[in-house]
Amino acid sequence: MNILDHIIADKKVEVALKKAVIPAAQLEQSVLFNRECASLATALKNSTTGIIAEHKRRSPSKGTIHQNTNVAQVAKGYQKAGASGMSVLTDIKYFGGSLEDLLLARSVVTMPLLRKEFIIDEYQVLEAKAYGADVILLIATVLTQSQIKNLSEMAKSLGMEVLLEVHNQKELEKSLMPSLDMLGVNNRNLKTFEVRLETSKTLADEIPESFVKVSESGISSIEAINELKTFGYQGFLIGENFMKTNTPAKSAAEFIAKLKL
C-alpha cells in the first residue's frame, strides 16, 4: 500500500466512528448550516493574484511544517494580505488539522474557506457545511465517477462550491460534469510526492473554459504563477511556501504584494 491507500483506509474508519458519535441530523442543526456561502470561483475570477492561502501544520511528504500555529491569527492575516480564499486542512492523523481549525477560521474571516480533506462520504460534506466551509475539495484519484457526481451534487444542493482535483488526463476525463465549479490540477503525485509544474501546463488546454482553473502544489515563485496565468489558470493554492516560515500571514502579504507589481 502507498501512503494514499493508507490515508483512505484510515479515513473510512474515522468517518464510521464519527457517524456513530455525531448523527448527520445533529450536523444539520449547526448554527452555520444555513449560512449563505461565499463564492471562491467568483473571488478568483475577480482577483489579479488568485492566491488561495493554505493552513497546513504537517504532511506525509514534508513532516512537520509549522505545528503550533494559531489558525485564527493566520486566517485574519491571510485575509488582510489579500488572499482570494483560504484552504484549511482538516485531516488529523496525517496533516495535523481538524474541523475545529475550520471553525476557528470561519469565526474571524469572511473570505471563502475551502475544507481540504479526503472526502469519501456524504457525511463529510455535511460536516464541511456545519463547520463553515464555502467549498469542498474532491480528489478524483480516490473517487469513482458516480461518487464525484453524488458528492458534488450534494455540496451544490447545500449552497457550497466544489473544487475537483486531478493529476492526469484520465482523471480529468472521468470528472468533467456540471456540478463542479473549479478544476484543480495537483502538481504533486500523491503516490510518489514528486512535484512537476508541467502537469498543470499539460492539462490546461483539456479543461473547458466553463471551469475556473486552479494550480495546486509546488508553487513557490512569482515567475511560476505568471507563467501559469498564460495557460489560463486563475487560482493558485499555496500552503507550504507560507506555512514553513515563522509568520505565514506576513509571508503571504509579501508574496501577494510582489504579484501585484
pLDDT digit string, tens, across residues 55-109: 998 877 765 666 678 999 999 999 999 999 999 999 999 999 999 999 999 999 9
**Rounded distance, CA 239 to CA 242, Å?**
6
Please state the rounded mean pLDDT for residues 30-42.
97
**Rounded distance, CA 113 to CA 91, Å?**
15
208: left (phi over 0), alpha (psi -120 to 50) or beta: beta
Average pLDDT, the chain: 94
Predicted pLDDT of residue 72: 96
Residue of 17, 8, 30 whose CA lies nearest to 126? 30
**Number of Cβ atoms within 10 Å of the Cβ of 87:** 25
Alpha helices in 131-234 (DSSP H): 145-157, 169-175, 198-203, 222-229
Residues designated as active site: 54, 56, 116, 165, 186, 216-217
pLDDT digit string, tens, across residues 123-173: 999 999 999 999 999 999 999 999 999 999 999 999 999 999 999 999 999
Task: Tell me the residue range of the domain where 102 lies.
Answer: 3-259
Quick one: the chain helix, strand, coil %, rounded to 5? 45, 15, 40
CATH, residue 171: 3.20.20.70
Please state the rounded mean pLDDT for residues 36-40.
98
**Number of Cβ atoms within 10 Å of the Cβ of 174:** 14
Residue 192 pLDDT more than 80? no
**Rounded distance, CA 50 to CA 61, Å?**
25
- Please answer whether residues 213 and 183 qualify as being in contact, where contact means their C-beta atoms are separated by less than 8 angstroms: yes
Please state the rounded mean pLDDT for residues 182-204.
89
Please state the rounded mean pLDDT for residues 6-26.
97
What is this structure's pTM? 0.95
Predicted pLDDT of residue 188: 85
* Total count of domains within the chain: 1
